[in-house]
Amino acid sequence: MAAKLLQRSGRNSGMVKVSINKPDNYVVSNLKVKQVLSNALREGGITSDCSVSVAFVGEQQMEELVDKYYKGDPQKKYVHPILTFPSLETKGKFVLPKGQSAELGEIIISYPEAIRFARESGETVEKRILFLLQHGAEHLLGHHHN
């Protein structure tokens, strides 16, 4: 499980910086993306300054990423709606030195898969994307599933 970052110098919660990379025609509120990730990380115990990158990609780019990172694993060779790449894989708790920010990792979302899942479940695309972001935040915090 990823470490929980402890607060420094009396601060109650750190700033969560979210970098978003998405084409203009992918409709999802950047503000909501940032809010969902910030809330999920704080609820998960992150109290230091940190940053997360989020990228929205098309089907072909997601297939290329799956081919690259799941090479040789036939059980994972399918179009994924989300991939996460945690930067932080330490165990236990630790304190960041004053003035430093932790890079938690990257969340990559397949926009076409989010659309497909939203249609199947009868929800909006934005609601599905925000669900996937919450799921991705849990992975960055070290919570994994089989």
Measure the CA–CA gap between 83 and 36, rounded to whole angstroms. Answer: 17
> What was the pLDDT predicted at 122?
96
Highest mean pLDDT among 18-27, 63-72, 136-145: 18-27
Measure the CA–CA gap between 33 and 111, rounded to whole angstroms. Answer: 14
pLDDT in tens, 31-83: 999 999 999 988 888 877 889 999 999 999 998 898 888 776 666 666 789 99
CB 18 within 8 A of CB 33: yes
- Residue 91 confidence class, pLDDT cut points 50, 70, 90: low
What residue type is 141 in one-letter code? L
Which residues are 82's β-sheet partners?
A: 109
Angle at the Cα of 15 from the Cα atoms of 11 and 127, rounded to 5 degrees: 130
> What was the pLDDT predicted at 119?
95
Specify the higher pLDDT residue, 14 or 42.
42
Highest mean pLDDT among 11-15, 43-47, 85-89, 142-146: 43-47
- Main-chain phi, psi angles of 121, to 5 degrees: -95, -5
What residue type is 138 in one-letter code? E
